[in-house]
Every structure is written in structure tokens, then in C-alpha cells.
Amino acid sequence: MTDFSKLAIHTFTHKPWNLEDCIRHFENAGVPAMSLWRNLVDPAEGGIGLNEAVKRVKNSSLSIPALVRGGFFPGKTEDTRQEAIDLNRQYVDEAQALGADMVVLVVGAVPGMPLSEARKQVQDGIAAVADHAEQAGVQLAIEPLHPMYAGDKSCINRMQEAREICEALQHPMVGIAADVYHIWWDPEVENELRLSAEQNTLFGFHICDWRLNTRHMLRDRGLMGDGCIDVKGFMDLVESLGFQGYHEVEVFSEEYWGWDQNQYLNLILERYQALV
């Protein structure tokens, strides 16, 4: 019998489902955890509101590894940067209320801003939120994004850049969410994962796949087995390093969003079963 005890699914993987759908179907399938995207919580994005979301999560059997997503710290003005800091403190409070272990940070970038300056602003922004996160008992997990997103979504594109911020801040609540989609190509990735494990900063681990013929930069990820990433190799590596967290399935795919979502969930379980 397959052990799903370390499996988590991001709600955005099943974008057509609302929060109630995700909870019901994940529980029925024996999935023990889900990482919750804010679009299902924030009324401005069509969500049900924090109080109602907390109620439904607390009444479920599901663990919440992460609230996704915070970040987007760089800005051209001090007011813009302070607004981002204030929002991230709010996200920390939401994560605490929902019982989420961490807030995943997609750190942001500003077109035309030198990456070095953007990275400095990211470090300063995280530093401004870290003590608030510690008081709330919520981790801040920096997620390096593939270099194709460096222009406007993330100035942190390698594990090394995330590690350097962790080392500079030396804060127990600041770490890394390693997503194989974004880091699989990096020749230093195995060493960086080892360093992260040694420094106790490997907070999250996301799995999916890279399609050889990607049709869209953002919305055409593959499910494990669809592409060229050695997902099992990464899973075995982080396990060998002592990682105790969930294997979080995070897939953005117009193709899979168009499927019957129960059929898609069954495929996710089948593909995950082949890896464990």
C-alpha cells in the first residue's frame, strides 16, 4: 500500500477547485496535507475570507505546510517597499491563523532595476519581516525561481542566492523552499541542497516536471513523469539529507486545469506512487 504520509498538494495545482473542493477531495483521496494559495482566501481574488478559510481548514484533517505566496519586496520607491513589508507581515498573520508552517516568498523583481539592487531590497524586506514571523511561529521560505522569471518575478534564481540571504540574516525563521522546476538545471544544486540541510534552512520541497516543449513560461509545467527532471533523484537526495517535510506537488498547467479534476488527482497519486 502506498505511503502518502509525506504528500502535499498545492491548491493552485487544482485551480478549478475552491477551498471546500480541495479539502473534500484531498481528504477522500488520503492526501494528508495541502499548501494553501491566497486566491482561495483573499476576497479580492475571489476567496472566501480569512475567518471562513480558518474555520474550514481547522475542521479538516489536513495539515498546511505553507501559505502561498508572499514576497515581491523590490520597489522603485520607499513607499512601495514599505507596502510590501506591511503586506508580508499580514501574510504571516494569515499563515499563523491558518496553522501554516511557512509563507513561501516569491521575492519579486523590477524590470530595469539591477538584480544586485533588487536582491539587496529583498534581503532588507525579509529582515524587516523576520522578527514578526518569529513571534508568530511562521517560517519565511525564499523560493528561487528559474532565470526566465528574473525580469519581473524573482531576482533570486539559484539556491546560492537564497543561501546568501539566509547566511547574511542568520535568522532562525528564514530559509528556502526548493522547487525542482526552478533549480534542476543548476550544476551546483546538489551541493546547495546539502548546504541548506546542514544550515537547517531547507524548509520546503516542491515537485513537478519540466516539459521539453514548454508551451507557456508560466502555465505549462509538467506533472512528475511528463518531462526531463530526475524528480526521484531529488526526492532521494533530500531524504538522505534528513529533510522531514512534505513533498509538495505544485503544477501550473492550463492543460491539466482543463481536465476533470478528480481524474487529474488520480493521476497525481499514480505518478507520486511511482516515485516513493
State the sign of the Cα–Cα–Cα–Cα dihedral 111, 116, 119, 124. negative
**CATH number of the structural domain spanning residue 239:** 3.20.20.150
pLDDT at 2: 77
Reported as a single tens digit per residue, the pLDDT across 75-121 is 999 999 999 999 999 999 999 999 999 999 999 999 999 999 999 99
pLDDT score of 143 more than 80: yes
Asked if residue 52 belongs to a domain, the reply is yes
Asked if residue 18 belongs to a domain, the reply is yes
Enumerate the β-bridge partners of residue 35.
10
Number of domains, the chain: 1
Q: Alpha-carbon Rg of the chain, whole angstroms? A: 18
- CB 257: neighbour CB atoms within 10 A? 17
pLDDT at 1: 63
* CB contact at 8 A, 103 and 66: yes
**CA–CA distance, 53 with 19 (Å, rounded to integer):** 8
Asked if residue 2 belongs to a domain, the reply is no
Type of residue numbered 131: D
Task: List the domain range (segments joined by +) for residue 232.
Answer: 7-273
Asked if residue 44 belongs to a domain, the reply is yes
Asked if residue 128 belongs to a domain, the reply is yes
How many CA atoms within 13 Å lie on the side-chain side of 31? 28
User: Model's pTM, two decimal places?
Assistant: 0.97
Asked if residue 1 belongs to a domain, the reply is no
